[in-house]
Amino acid sequence: MADVVFELNGHEVVVPDGTSLLVALRETCGIRSAKDGCAPQGQCGCCTVWVDGEARVACVTPVSRVRGRSVTTLEGAGAAVADAWSERLCATGGSQCGFCTPGIIMRLAAPRRQGGLTKESVDQALLAHLCRCTGWQTIVEAALDPVDVSVKREHATTRAAIEGRTVQSVAPPVAMGNGGFAGDTYPTDAMVAVRSAAGTWHVHDSLVEARAAAGIVQGRRSTLGLNWPIEVPDESEFVRTLRTTWVEPAYLEPDAVWCQPGGRAVGPLVNGGAFGGKRSSWLADEARRLADENDRPIRIALTREDVVRLGAKRPPMAAGVRADGSGIVWLRRTEGAARFIAERFPTWTLHEVDVPGPLTSLDVRGAVWAELSALIASVSPPEERGDHVQSPEGADAWARIDDDGVEITVRCGDVLDHTVLRSYCIGAAHMALGWVRTEGIAVDAMGEIHDLTIRSFGVLRAVDMPPVAVHILDDSRPPVNGSDAVFAAVAAAAWRRDGFPSRWPASRE
């Protein structure tokens, strides 16, 4: 195959044919702003670049198609685009982990984009993208509203780390995709480890070789419907019951790790974004083992399908609550659940149930306590501010939902940075609405996952989101995570708003 010559950020480059544009950009040309969130599914928008000034998804564009054409990435888009947009997104909280952000900037700022930026046109443009963190609203605000980018934000990173539950920076470079993800920072002489569907590691000098050896086959969304694997044996003793299904955390950055022989692994939790979803990852140990075995630096590159197969899910459950707020929960057996429920919910009885399926973890955002908190809130009238939830750390959140949107009040100690806390609360509201209404993955009776594409997780799109208003109450206590309490409160309010359907997600089969 003849090499492909094209112009990249104003300079001619020559790359091998036979790959996607994204592989050529990242693996041959060293571009880091275009991210691989789902390649080759073409569904998350993280790899968006300009081809002759038009936004294009690079992971499904064969590199041969840009022969002789002009390709621009965020690195070459110029200060008027990169600096201005990253500062605006930072100023509204429209970028958290920053993995999705470069692609969104490239979409919204494309030179050949038709028409101006309006709420409707931005929502439409965002249909090509997914974001797990922000809940969209702050991205739309960055696109539409003039914001003061000069405000000094000393404590923004501290609040972001508290809310993201891992190290997280808040600065324009993060919004430009420079959050330091392990998939971007590996040593240039690192070998690549790719996992086959059977679970074998294939270690090669290049990503293309490793993927070919592993026989990577693109996952598809299945036609299998969701199932709710656990039932309430006798509903008659309860005021209200709830059954939940397998839920994918759906973070955008696929777990990536690199390690030197004898060294300490970098990743997968580098710049937040997973809300606990990556805490159970064992890839750091695996990268160290492979580096030692090969006596070379190793980077592990998971595909989206790998992430779905290997990553921890919310444990499915069935539960019933009595009028006094006590109840019984039948939970997919999950490490730590027995102790947690005994300590936090002493009037509840736990029955652990063995259900075949993927790994489940209490690390996933608010797992178990958010469900039980929503059940308990459901048997009392809402307070004036709405359904109230208190997190195990002592944060209070209230939420109510009406035709005008979602209204949240949160109190979680020293605010530190209003913009960041507000942004995380809006993101938590987005995640909660999706959880109650649309999020879930199909797992069959043998425990095999069938939904392997990022669009099949049911994450709400920008056009699906109602406006979210956030009221933040300051207090003198040390800061604690507030957005997890918001997540539970919004779930409780959405459940009430929808008439307490007995299964989540309620709006998807």
Q: How far is the CB of 267 from ligand FES (least distance, A)?
A: 15
Place of tokens 């736990």: 350
Q: Are 444 and 382 in contact (CB under 8 A)?
A: no
The residue among 253 and 387 lying less far from ligand FES, judged by its C-beta, is 253
Q: Is 135 in the site for ligand FES (CB under 6 A)?
A: no
Cα within 13 Å of Cα(197), Cβ side: 10
Q: Are 268 and 256 in contact (CB under 8 A)?
A: yes
For 426, other C-beta atoms within 10 Å of its C-beta total 29
* Tally of residues, the chain: 509
140 is written with which tokens?
A: 């739309």
Q: Are 48 and 89 in contact (CB under 8 A)?
A: no
The residue among 98 and 315 lying less far from ligand FES, judged by its C-beta, is 98
The residue among 28 and 96 lying less far from ligand FES, judged by its C-beta, is 96
- Indicate which single residue of 8, 23, 24, 44 sits in contact with ligand FES (rule: CB under 6 A): 44
Q: Is 132 in the site for ligand FES (CB under 6 A)?
A: yes
> What is the helix (H) or strand (E) element at residue 49, kind and residue range?
strand 48-51
Q: Is 131 in the site for ligand FES (CB under 6 A)?
A: yes
- Indicate which single residue of 36, 123, 163, 255 sits in contact with ligand FES (rule: CB under 6 A): 36
Q: How far is the CB of 58 from ligand FES (least distance, A)?
A: 6
Q: Is 45 in the site for ligand FES (CB under 6 A)?
A: yes
Q: Is 161 in the site for ligand FES (CB under 6 A)?
A: no
Nearest alpha-carbon partner for 59 in 441, 453, 464? 453
Q: Which residues in the 261-280 window bind ligand FES by CB under 6 A?
A: 273
Q: Is 39 in the site for ligand FES (CB under 6 A)?
A: yes
Angle at 66 between CA 63 and CA 205, to 5 degrees: 25
* Cα dist from 411 to 186, 389, 479, whole Å: 40, 11, 9
Q: How far is the CB of 394 from ligand FES (least distance, A)?
A: 26
For residue 237, the Cα-to-chain-centroid distance in whole angstroms is: 37
- Indicate which single residue of 4, 55, 109, 133 sits in contact with ligand FES (rule: CB under 6 A): 133
Pairing of strands 70-72, 48-51: antiparallel
Q: Is 303 in the site for ligand FES (CB under 6 A)?
A: no
Angle at 492 between CA 431 and CA 443, to 5 degrees: 55
Q: Is 327 in the site for ligand FES (CB under 6 A)?
A: no
- Indicate which single residue of 61, 134, 168, 391 sits in contact with ligand FES (rule: CB under 6 A): 134
Beta-carbon contacts of residue 305 (< 8 Å; ≥ 6 apart): 197, 216, 218, 219, 452
The Cα 209–Cα 213 span in angstroms is 6
Site size toward ligand FES (CB under 6 A) is: 26
The residue among 51 and 368 lying less far from ligand FES, judged by its C-beta, is 51
Q: How far is the CB of 94 from ligand FES (least distance, A)?
A: 8
Place of tokens 């609360």: 425
Q: Is 100 in the site for ligand FES (CB under 6 A)?
A: yes
Q: Is 138 in the site for ligand FES (CB under 6 A)?
A: no
Q: How far is the CB of 7 from ligand FES (least distance, A)?
A: 21
Q: Is 254 in the site for ligand FES (CB under 6 A)?
A: no
Site residues, ligand FES (CB under 6 A) = 36-39, 41-47, 57, 59, 95-101, 131-134, 252, 273
